[in-house]
Amino acid sequence: MNSYDVVVIGGGSAGLSAATALARSRRSVLVVDAGEPRNAPAAGAHNVLGHDGIAPTALLELGRKEATGYGAEIRTDRAVAARRTDTGFEVDLDETGRVRARRLILATGLADELPDLPGVREAWGRSVLHCPYCHGWEVRDRRIGVIGSSPMSGHQTLMFRQLSDDVTLFTHTMPAPEGEELDRLVARGVRIVPGIVSALRTEGDAVRAVVLDGGDEIEVDAAVVAPRFVARAELYEQLGGTVTETPVGSFVETGPMGQTAVPGVWAAGNTADLTAMVVSSAGSGVAAGAAVNADLVAEDAEAAVRERATP
Ligand SMILES: Cc1cc2nc3c(=O)[nH]c(=O)nc-3n(C[C@H](O)[C@H](O)[C@H](O)COP(=O)(O)OP(=O)(O)OC[C@H]3O[C@@H](n4cnc5c(N)ncnc54)[C@H](O)[C@@H]3O)c2cc1C
């Protein structure tokens, strides 16, 4: 069984950044990555300083080269189980056996649970969007339809209104806007269409119209949805951790450097922060990598002191 100082589970921007920080500190580190980064459907990753618009897979390829250049090992595989041992952890991998680690970093990202409407999945990440910072510029001045399904849909509508004068809020399953929220939407010129949406009409990955129950269609160039964000936390739960539930999803709570409530386990990226974008995920990965290294430095120093004191 291979043993490492650190096993990082997940090789997106968070995991690869953690691995690079650790490898540069001369830690033995394995990244196990199933190869399904959350933004894979998008053509480009935006707000990525120095690489704005780069294809998501191309960015991770650069990250992999950097991490392996400093000695990190990367396996394309899936971690399916994790348990504590006397000296750290054991992780079972789907195809390549079992590995040991002194510390674990969970950088497994999150799953976007999309509204169950025909057309949403087909155009997700292309013309079905959720994040104004990721794709807003690309749909500026276009006809944008927001499909209301969450208490945050009114807020999301105003965020996209910043990008286009032509925004329609389909109230669908959200609580009907009222009071201050309604005043703001109306004052900002948002059209509000009540009723249940039955589908998005798409051509390939392009949304053409929102279809209402009853058959009426309203043409749009992009649709905005509010997925439920669910951190991939099965391994954390196996190790005794519990996720924190919020109205928009669930995540693994951490301290500022990524330390979780489970000793020896850190979390970074979307696993720990549902709102983290590519660069902030990378930032939390570096922080977790640095914190894990510091923790191991302290443990190694204590072991050396004990050894020196032994006659
Ligand atoms: C459609 C879309 C477009 C986006 N566009 C942008 C954008 O333009 N700019 C921006 O800054 N952000 C964007 N984001 C957000 C961005 O995707 C996230 O911020 C980023 O991917 C988070 O990085 P991460 O490393 O935490 O997770 P991920 O990138 O999702 O990486 C997690 C990795 O862990 C792997 N994994 C999961 N479980 C296991 C397991 N058990 N074993 C092994 N591997 C596992 C996954 O396969 C994946 O490769 C977008 C998101 C979406 C949904």
Judge if 119 and 215 occupy the same domain: yes
Asked if residue 12 has its Cβ within 6 Å of ligand 1, the reply is: yes
- In tens, the pLDDT along 180-238 reads 999 999 999 999 999 999 999 999 999 999 999 999 999 999 999 999 999 999 999 99
Judge if 8 and 38 occupy the same domain: yes
Amino acid identity at 225: V
Judge if 257 and 271 occupy the same domain: yes
Give CA–CA dist 85/90, Å, rounded.
7
Judge if 141 and 189 occupy the same domain: yes
Give CA–CA dist 5/16, Å, rounded.
15
Judge if 107 and 243 occupy the same domain: yes
- In tens, the pLDDT along 100-127 reads 999 999 999 999 999 999 999 999 999 9
What are the phi and psi torsion angles at 218 (to 5°)? -120, 125
Distance 1 CA to ligand 1 centre (A): 29
Residue 272 has pLDDT above 90, yes or no: yes
Asked if residue 15 has its Cβ within 6 Å of ligand 1, the reply is: yes
Which residue minimizes the CA distance to atom 46 of ligand 1? 36
Judge if 262 and 278 occupy the same domain: yes
| Token output for 284 | 């939390």
Residue with tokens 């894979």: 40
Domain extent, residue 187, equals: 115-224
Domain boundary (224, 250, 281) is at 224
For 171-201, give the secondary structure using H, E and C.
CCCCCCCCHHHHHHHHHCCCEEECCCEEEEE
Asked if residue 269 has its Cβ within 6 Å of ligand 1, the reply is: yes
Q: Which atom of ligand 1 lies nearest, measured to the CA of 48?
A: 11
Domain boundary (189, 224, 259) is at 224
- In tens, the pLDDT along 222-264 reads 999 999 999 999 999 999 999 999 999 999 999 999 999 999 9
Q: 269: domain CATH number? A: 3.50.50.60
Judge if 170 and 219 occupy the same domain: yes
Asked if residue 34 has its Cβ within 6 Å of ligand 1, the reply is: yes
Q: Region 35-39: what's the mean pLDDT?
A: 97
Q: Region 7-32: what's the mean pLDDT?
A: 98
| Token output for 66 | 């950097």
Total domains, the chain? 2
Asked if residue 30 has its Cβ within 6 Å of ligand 1, the reply is: no
Give CA–CA dist 145/199, Å, rounded.
12
Residue 215, pLDDT score: 95
Whole-number average pLDDT of the chain: 97
| Token output for 85 | 């041992």
Judge if 121 and 212 occupy the same domain: yes
Residue 311 has pLDDT above 90, yes or no: no
Domain boundary (201, 224, 247) is at 224
Judge if 102 and 239 occupy the same domain: yes
- In tens, the pLDDT along 275-309 reads 999 999 999 999 999 999 999 999 999 999 999 99
Judge if 102 and 139 occupy the same domain: no
Judge if 139 and 238 occupy the same domain: no
Phi-psi region of 269 (alpha: psi -120 to 50; beta: other; left: phi over 0): left
Residue 151, pLDDT score: 86
What are the phi and psi torsion angles at 198 (to 5°)? -100, -25
Judge if 214 and 291 occupy the same domain: no
